[in-house]
Amino acid sequence: MLRSIFLIPFLVIPLTTFATQEETNNPNVKAISVPIKLVDATVAAVNGEPILLSDVKLYRLLFPHTSPKEALQRLIDIYTVAQYAQARGISIPPQKINEIVENFASSQGMTVDQLYQELEKAGLGGSVFTNFLEKYNLYIAAIQLFVLKPLHENKEKLELLIAERTKEVPLYELTILKIPKKVAEKYTDLLVSEDINKISQTLGIKPINLTVEAQALKPQIRETVKRLSPGQVDFAEDKNYLYVVKLNGIKYKHFGDKEKIIKQIEEEKIKEFVQRLEKEAVIKLLIKENS
């Protein structure tokens, strides 16, 4: 008996549960009502290529928590993208398919012959399984090549997409001179120059370099910083000190699960890609007139 993803036995799929055009949420799927037989009936077609009831049965065997409607829609997605991959010269060599079958059988603790025997018990021939493997690997190859690779290569755009989904907190890069007021009063002309390096050297006061959030600053300095543009200098003061404040730059700290956000972006880009292809494809959904 098949283990792992084959653990849950196959349940007979009622043909009346196949989605109509309204149910699929896919305006590109055209429903046609025709009588079909239980064994290897055509339940959908993508650009004329049939999706059989046995394909749906296999998908639900591999992904047992999938409903018939979900399985059929996923197969439509896979076939559409697989065709796109083939049209662009992508292929999966037969020896690669054989290798995948052998690895899968081994993962189930079986030989390839034993795997096919289990598939036969479930009413599925080995060709159904190998056909699915080819289609699915074409689908994966196309997603990697035409969606994920361009997404991750354009690092600046990806970072912008991530930033849109995270909370941004500005970090101020500052140079500050803390000058006792008694000293400052003696060097008014020097301070007016706003040359922070010259002031530092003349007074022998070491500048303080900070990269901080606004709320971490003294209120007087915070208000000064908010008035500044990068490169500008201004003054703040409290009871005992005059502060010469230079804003060197602003950067942003992002809060959020970056890996989770990237995964969400990838899923959205894949969905957009598949929907675009399906909009251009001829997809027909075949349903049974009577159960």
Q: Are residues 41 and 129 in the same domain?
A: yes
Which of 24-38, 160-174, 271-285 is modeled with the greatest confidence? 271-285
Q: Which of 140-149, 150-159, 163-172, 260-269 comes out lowest in average pLDDT? A: 163-172
Asked whether residue 9 carries a pLDDT value surpassing 70, the answer given is no
Q: Are residues 244 and 279 in the same domain?
A: no
**Is there a contact between 29 and 284 (Cβ–Cβ < 8 Å)?**
yes
Q: Are residues 152 and 177 in the same domain?
A: no
Q: Could you tell me the pTM of the whole model?
A: 0.60
Per the structure, how many domains does the chain have?
2
What is residue 288's predicted lDDT score, i.e. its pLDDT?
57
Q: Are residues 69 and 135 in the same domain?
A: yes
CATH number of the domain enclosing 135: 1.10.4030.10
Q: How many other β-carbons are positioned within 10 Å of the β-carbon of residue 97?
A: 16
Q: Are residues 52 and 193 in the same domain?
A: no
What is residue 111's predicted lDDT score, i.e. its pLDDT?
94
The DSSP call for residue 204 is T
Name the band, by pLDDT with cuts 50, 70 and 90, for residue 163: confident
Q: Are residues 134 and 278 in the same domain?
A: yes
Mean pLDDT of 269-281: 97
Asked whether residue 178 carries a pLDDT value surpassing 70, the answer given is yes
Determine, yes or no, domain membership for 236.
yes
Determine, yes or no, domain membership for 80.
yes
Query: Measuring CA to CA, which residue among 26, 191, 2 is closest to residue 106?
Result: 2
Q: For the residues of 215-240, what is the DSSP string, one character each?
A: GGS-HHHHHHHHH--TT-EEEEE-SS
Determine, yes or no, domain membership for 161.
no
Residue type, 289: E
29-81 per-position pLDDT tens digit = 443 333 333 447 999 999 999 999 999 999 999 998 999 999 999 999 999 99
Determine, yes or no, domain membership for 51.
yes
Residue 175 CB-half CA count within 13 A: 16
**Is there a contact between 207 and 201 (Cβ–Cβ < 8 Å)?**
no
Q: Are residues 151 and 38 in the same domain?
A: yes
Q: Are residues 41 and 147 in the same domain?
A: yes
Query: Measuring CA to CA, which residue among 98, 73, 82 is closest to residue 137?
Result: 82
49-58 per-position pLDDT tens digit = 999 999 999 9
Asked whether residue 4 carries a pLDDT value surpassing 80, the answer given is no
As beta bridge partners, residue 233 has 246
Determine, yes or no, domain membership for 83.
yes
What is residue 263's predicted lDDT score, i.e. its pLDDT?
95
What is residue 16's predicted lDDT score, i.e. its pLDDT?
24
Q: Are residues 52 and 127 in the same domain?
A: yes
Q: Are residues 83 and 175 in the same domain?
A: no
93-150 per-position pLDDT tens digit = 999 999 999 999 999 899 999 999 999 998 898 899 999 999 999 999 999 999 999 9
What is residue 191's predicted lDDT score, i.e. its pLDDT?
93
Asked whether residue 289 carries a pLDDT value surpassing 90, the answer given is no
As beta bridge partners, residue 254 has 168
Cβ burial 127-147 (10 Å sphere, 16+ → b, else e): ebbbbbbbbbbbbbbbbeebb
Q: Are residues 94 and 149 in the same domain?
A: yes
Q: Are residues 64 and 184 in the same domain?
A: no
The better pLDDT of the pair 6, 264 is held by 264
Alpha helices in the chain (DSSP H): 21-24, 53-62, 68-87, 94-107, 112-121, 126-143, 149-153, 155-164, 181-186, 188-192, 196-203, 219-227, 258-280
What is residue 120's predicted lDDT score, i.e. its pLDDT?
92
Determine, yes or no, domain membership for 260.
no
Distance CA(151)–CA(269), nearest Å, equals 8
Note down the domain range covering 60. 4-156+265-287
CATH number of the domain enclosing 185: 3.10.50.40
